Amino acid sequence: MPQRRLAALAAAVVVVAAGLAARALLPGAVAKYAGDLLYTLLVYALVVVAAPRARPFVVAAVALGVSWLVEFAQLSGVPAELSAHSTLARLALGTTFNAPDLFWYAVGAAVGYAIHSIRTK
């Protein structure tokens, strides 16, 4: 496995651990929005695992697009229905649309872009 893929996989593990720690240790709204940021960072890392040669801007755009797609899908009620039956679905898809989440997803994509850009120089 190429070094970039391994680094992205390790980053994904760190992001999941950070997300679990945020949920356990931070107060309500802070934990929620930290989770949004970290969600997009996780998607970012997984995109790098899948496409390790992709440019940081492309990876950021894909990660943000996936995050926004999931958020807007919550308007349909399908994620809420799936989440009622599965903790994993609740963590991955959420339950209800919340417009401020869109901003925090963008912050997560920007953080991923910044780290990736520095690491690939």
Query: Residue 121 above 90 pLDDT?
Result: no
**Contact in structure between 112 and 40 (CB atoms under 8 Å):** yes
Q: Give yes or no for a contact between 5 and 49, defined as CB atoms under 8 angstroms apart.
A: yes
Are residues 71 and 37 in contact, defined by beta-carbon separation less than 8 angstroms? no
Contact 47, 63 (CB under 8 A): yes
Please report the pLDDT score of residue 91 as a whole number.
Answer: 86
Domain count, the chain: 1
pLDDT band at 1 (very low <50, low <70, confident <90, very high): low
- Per residue in 27-66, pLDDT (tens digit) is 999 999 999 999 999 999 999 999 999 999 999 999 999 9
Please report the pLDDT score of residue 119 as a whole number: 83
**pLDDT-based confidence at 116, cuts 50/70/90?**
very high
Domain that holds residue 83: 3-119
Nearest CA to 111 out of 48, 33, 40 is that of 40
Token digits of residue 70: 């999931």
Longest dimension (CA), the chain: 44
Confidence label for 21 from pLDDT (cuts 50, 70 and 90): very high
Q: For 87-101, what is the mean pLDDT?
A: 92
Confidence of residue 120 (pLDDT cuts 50, 70, 90): confident
Burial label for 11, CB within 10 Å (0-12, 13-18, 19+), is buried
| Angle between helical axes of 28-50 and 3-25 (0-180°, round to 10) | 170
